[in-house]
C-alpha cells in the first residue's frame, strides 16, 4: 500500500466565502451572499472572512479600512451568522492567504487571467494604471478558498468566472505536483432568487457599490424612509405587472422588482406574479417597500447595535482568526512540502 492521496477529493465539506471591506453593503450583497451564509452555517462547517486584502486592490483610506472591516463583520452578525457556529475572521489576520496566493500565482497562467471580465470592468479604460493586485485578484481568491479546502462557495452570479479559475488552479496544482485529490475542485453556490440583483435605475446593470447614483441601490444602512423612497422612484414602465414569466422576461426592471420581492419573501417569481400579475406598480411598489422595510430594518438595527460595540466585534474577529490560522497552517505546511520548499 502506498499513501498516495485518492484521485478525487475525499476530505470534509466546508463552506468558504467572503465580502470585500470596500464600502457599504447593499441588497445585492445581502441576498446574493449574506443570506446564503446564514442558511449554510447550520448545514456545513462554515468559514466566512472579510476580504480586506482584496479591498486594497483599489485605494482604501487607511484611516477607514479597519472600521470598514468591522462594518462587514457587523453585517454578517446582523444577518444571522453565529460566531459560535461559523468561523468569522479578517483575511489579513491569516498571513497564509498571501503565502498560498504567491504559490498560486506561479500555477495560474497569464492567459487565464487575461480572460477575467471583472478585471476588464474594474480597470476600465486605464488598465495600465490599475494595481497589479487588481489583475491577480482572482488568484488570491483561489488561495482564500483552497487554504481551507473549501468545497462550497456561496457567492453572487458575478463570481462564477472566479470560481472556474479556482477550479483550474486546484486541478493544475494537483496535476503538476502529482498530488491527486489534494485540493478539492470547489463548487460555486451561485443559484437562488437573489443571485443577481439589478440596479433600481437600470434593469440591465448590476446593483453595485460603485454606481455613482445612491438611488440605484438599497444600502443595508438605509432607514425605512430611504428604502421606501428608493423603491417608489425605481425605474419601471407604465404597464401593469405581467401575468406570466415569459412576459416578465421582456421587462427587465419589472423582472428585477419581482425578483427582489420573491427573494425577500421566500417566494418564486411565479408566486409573486400569481399575487400581483395584472396589478399596477401603484399597488406593487408600496407592497414591496413594506416588505423590504420589514425584512431589512431588523438587519440595519442589529448592524448599528454591533457597530456601537466595536470591542465585541474585535473579540469575535480575533477568536475567528485563531481558529482560521489553526485550520490553514497544516494545509500550507503540506503545500510547502509538496512544492519542495526548504523547511
Say whether 198 sits in a helix, a strand or coil. strand
Residues 160-189, mask of contacts with ligand TRP (x by CB under 6 A): --x---------------------------
Does residue 92 bind ligand TRP (CB under 6 A)? Answer: no
Residue placing its CB nearer to ligand TRP in the complex, 20 or 41? 20
Contacts of 48 by beta carbon, 8 Å cutoff, 6+ apart: 15, 16, 17, 18, 37, 76, 81, 86, 87, 88
Q: Considering only residues 99, 158, 211, 290, which one is a binding residue for ligand AMP as defined by CB under 6 A?
A: 158
Question: Whole-number minimum distance, CB 175 to ligand TRP, in Å?
Answer: 22
Does residue 216 bind ligand AMP (CB under 6 A)? Answer: no
Contacts of 199 by beta carbon, 8 Å cutoff, 6+ apart: 205, 206, 207, 208, 211, 213, 216, 217
Q: What is the C-alpha to C-alpha distance for residues 241 and 180, in angstroms, rounded to an integer?
A: 53
Q: What is the C-alpha to C-alpha distance for residues 15 and 148, in angstroms, rounded to an integer?
A: 9
Whether 235 is a known active-site residue: answer no
Q: What is the C-alpha to C-alpha distance for residues 220 and 322, in angstroms, rounded to an integer?
A: 29
Question: Whole-number minimum distance, CB 155 to ligand TRP, in Å?
Answer: 5
Q: What angle do CA 207, 212, 216 make, to 5 degrees?
A: 35
Does residue 57 bind ligand TRP (CB under 6 A)? Answer: no
Whether 122 is a known active-site residue: answer yes
Q: Considering only residues 41, 136, 151, 159, which one is a binding residue for ligand AMP as defined by CB under 6 A?
A: 159
Burial of 105: CB neighbours in 10 Å, binned 0-12, 13-18, 19+: middle
For the chain, the C-alpha Rg in angstroms (whole number) is 21
- Cα–Cα distances in angstroms (integers) from residue 335 to residues 6, 104, 332, 341, in the given order: 16, 11, 5, 9
Q: What is the C-alpha to C-alpha distance for residues 246 and 56, in angstroms, rounded to an integer?
A: 42
Question: Whole-number minimum distance, CB 79 to ligand TRP, in Å?
Answer: 15
Q: Considering only residues 78, 155, 170, 195, which one is a binding residue for ligand TRP as defined by CB under 6 A?
A: 155
Please report, as residue ranges, which positions from 260 to 289 form the binding site for ligand AMP (by CB under 6 A).
none
Residue placing its CB nearer to ligand TRP in the complex, 121 or 243? 121
Please report, as residue ranges, which positions from 28 to 57 form the binding site for ligand AMP (by CB under 6 A).
28-29, 32-33
Q: Give the active site residue among 209, 235, 269, 323.
A: 209
Q: Considering only residues 141, 152, 219, 300, which one is a binding residue for ligand TRP as defined by CB under 6 A?
A: 141
Strands of the sheet containing 46-51, edge to edge, are 87-90, 46-51, 15-20, 152-154, 187-189
Q: Which residue has the CB atom at the shortest distance from ligand AMP?
A: 32
Does residue 50 bind ligand TRP (CB under 6 A)? Answer: no
Question: Which residues on neighbouring strands pair with residue 198, listed in sequence order?
Answer: 206
- DSSP letters spanning 95-127: THHHHHHHHHHTTS-HHHHHT-HHHHHHHTT-G
- Cell numbers of 163, please? 470560481
Q: Give the active site residue among 36, 206, 230, 295.
A: 206
Q: Give the active site residue among 122, 160, 285, 323.
A: 122
Whether 206 is a known active-site residue: answer yes
Question: Whole-number minimum distance, CB 173 to ligand TRP, in Å?
Answer: 17
DSSP label at residue 186: P
Does residue 184 bind ligand AMP (CB under 6 A)? Answer: no
**Which residues does the annotation mark as catalytic?**
122, 206, 209
Could you list the residues that contact ligand AMP (CB under 6 A)?
Answer: 19-20, 28-29, 32-33, 155-156, 158-159, 194-197, 206-207, 209
Could you list the residues that contact ligand TRP (CB under 6 A)?
Answer: 16-20, 51, 54, 141, 144-145, 153, 155, 159, 162
Amino acid at each position: 500500500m502506498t499513501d498516495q492521496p485518492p484521485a478525487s477529493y475525499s476530505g470534509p465539506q466546508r463552506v468558504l466565502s467572503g465580502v470585500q471591506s470596500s464600502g457599504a453593503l447593499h441588497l445585492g450583497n445581502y441576498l446574493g451572499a449574506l443570506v446564503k451564509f446564514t442558511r449554510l452555517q447550520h448545514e456545513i462547517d462554515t468559514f466566512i472572512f472579510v476580504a480586506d486584502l482584496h479591498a486594497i486592490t483599489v485605494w482604501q483610506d487607511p484611516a477607514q479600512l479597519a472600521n470598514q472591516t468591522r462594518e462587514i463583520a457587523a453585517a454578517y452578525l446582523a444577518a444571522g451568522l453565529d460566531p459560535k457556529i461559523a468561523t468569522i475572521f479578517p483575511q489579513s489576520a491569516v498571513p497564509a492567504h498571501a503565502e498560498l496566493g504567491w504559490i498560486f500565482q506561479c500555477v495560474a497562467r497569464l492567459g487565464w487571467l487575461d480572460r477575467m471580465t471583472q478585471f476588464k470592468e474594474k480597470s476600465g479604460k486605464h488598465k495600465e494604471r490599475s494595481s497589479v493586485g487588481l489583475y491577480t485578484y482572482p488568484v488570491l481568491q483561489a488561495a482564500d478558498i483552497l487554504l481551507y479546502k473549501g468545497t462550497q462557495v456561496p457567492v453572487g452570479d458575478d463570481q462564477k468566472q472566479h470560481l472556474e479559475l479556482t477550479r483550474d488552479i486546484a486541478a493544475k496544482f494537483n496535476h503538476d505536483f502529482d498530488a491527486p485529490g489534494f485540493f478539492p475542485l470547489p463548487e460555486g453556490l451561485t443559484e437562488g432568487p437573489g443571485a443577481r440583483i439589478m440596479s433600481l435605475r437600470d434593469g440591465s446593470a448590476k446593483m453595485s457599490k460603485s454606481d455613482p447614483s445612491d438611488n440605484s441601490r438599497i444600502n443595508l444602512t438605509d432607514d425605512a424612509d430611504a428604502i421606501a423612497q428608493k423603491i417608489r422612484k425605481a425605474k419601471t414602465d407604465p404597464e401593469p405587472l405581467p401575468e406570466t414569466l415569459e412576459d416578465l422576461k421582456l421587462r427587465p426592471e419589472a423582472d428585477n422588482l419581482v425578483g427582489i420581492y420573491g427573494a425577500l419573501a421566500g417566494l418564486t417569481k411565479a408566486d409573486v406574479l400569481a399575487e400581483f400579475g395584472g396589478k399596477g406598480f401603484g399597488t406593487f411598489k408600496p407592497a414591496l417597500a413594506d416588505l423590504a422595510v420589514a425584512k431589512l430594518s431588523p438587519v440595519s438595527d442589529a448592524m448599528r447595535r454591533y457597530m456601537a460595540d466595536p470591542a465585541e466585534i474585535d473579540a469575535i474577529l480575533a477568536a475567528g482568526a485563531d481558529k482560521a490560522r489553526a485550520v490553514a497552517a497544516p494545509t500550507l505546511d503540506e503545500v510547502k512540502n509538496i512544492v519542495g520548499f526548504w523547511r
